[in-house]
């Protein structure tokens, strides 16, 4: 068996001074929710001899995230880089990724992180699957081949669902299911000393500037900001019965429940 796996990753912004997402080499990192997706792919690589391609859309600073993917064990790294892509929303991103995925050739599995740490929408994975018109399963915690049948298990609330899937398929990976491996020094040294990151431009994807960026995006990001919540904690004392009565009284007073 020779599986072909593509993992879509993102270089995320760690800080957004004054609400503006400025991407600089010292302000970007591989999205932490993409590392479990890479781990899932690499486990299949070692078990079934899969070929793993890491794919990212972004400016040149995204090359560091792809280099980290290579250091973890990805066989191939591809960066979709074009100035016209700036300020693309998730739908445009999905369309661009879909074009690139088709250009890369046939694939069996398409992996995404469940969300990103900067925009936190969780939309690109399912949107890309919709554009490609392939099945999609979210929050996968287990994945394997059983009697020539691919089986995935996904978590939903306190339940675990089991699905039998037919390839090709797109999946988002639950971080708890695939804790990422540490990146070894040898892998880092090889990835940074011998970079082999391929680049795609809009012309390679048969897209125009009007179809991407702000002009092609139905949504806009106004700004990024940290949301601080004011919380307080009150400890209830006394016997359990008294604590319950006090809790019910407080919740009733706040309109959370009726006494």
CA–CA separation, 133 vs 53, rounded Å? 20
Same domain, 239 and 121: no
Same domain, 148 and 243: no
Same domain, 134 and 249: no
Same domain, 158 and 246: no
CATH of the domain at 103: 3.40.50.620
Same domain, 180 and 238: no
Only one residue has tokens 């694939």, namely 107
Nearest CA-CA partner of 199 in 102, 63, 96:
63
Distances (CA, A) of 226 to 33, 78, 117, 121, 229: 19, 31, 12, 15, 10
In a domain, 239, yes or no: yes
- Cα angle: 79, vertex 124, 99; to 5 degrees: 50
Same domain, 246 and 170: no
Same domain, 235 and 211: no
Per-residue tens of pLDDT for the chain, all 259 residues: 589 999 999 998 876 555 555 666 667 889 999 999 999 999 999 999 999 999 999 999 898 899 999 999 999 999 999 999 998 999 999 999 999 999 999 999 999 999 998 878 899 999 999 999 999 999 999 998 888 899 999 988 888 899 999 999 999 999 999 999 888 777 777 777 767 899 999 999 999 999 999 988 998 877 766 677 778 888 888 898 899 889 898 888 888 777 5
The count of structural domains within the chain is: 2
- For 252, the domain range is 231-259
CA–CA separation, 244 vs 249, rounded Å? 9
């Amino acid at each position: 068996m020779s599986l072909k796996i593509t993992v879509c990753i993102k270089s995320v912004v760690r800080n957004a001074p004054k609400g503006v997402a400025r991407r600089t080499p010292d302000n970007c990192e591989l999205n932490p929710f993409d590392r479990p997706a890479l781990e899932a792919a690499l486990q299949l690589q070692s078990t079934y001899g899969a070929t793993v391609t890491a794919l990212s859309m972004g400016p040149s600073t995204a090359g560091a995230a792809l280099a980290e993917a290579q250091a973890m064990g990805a066989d191939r790294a591809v960066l979709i880089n074009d100035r016209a892509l700036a300020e693309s929303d998730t739908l445009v991103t999905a369309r661009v990724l879909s074009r690139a995925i088709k250009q890369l050739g046939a694939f069996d599995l398409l992996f995404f992180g469940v969300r990103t740490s900067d925009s936190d929408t969780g939309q690109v994975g399912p949107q890309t699957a919709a554009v490609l018109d392939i099945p999609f399963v979210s929050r996968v915690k287990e994945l394997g081949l059983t009697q020539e049948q691919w089986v995935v298990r996904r978590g939903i609330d306190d339940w675990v669902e089991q699905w039998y899937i037919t390839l090709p398929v797109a999946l988002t990976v639950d971080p708890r299911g695939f804790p990422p491996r540490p990146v070894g020094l040898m892998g880092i040294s090889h990835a940074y000393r011998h970079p082999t990151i391929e680049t795609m431009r809009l012309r390679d994807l048969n897209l125009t500037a009007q179809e991407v960026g702000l002009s092609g995006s139905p949504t806009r990001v106004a700004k990024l900001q940290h949301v601080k919540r004011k919380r307080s904690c009150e400890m209830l004392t006394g016997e359990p019965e008294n604590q319950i009565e006090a809790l019910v009284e407080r919740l009733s007073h706040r309109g959370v429940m009726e006494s």
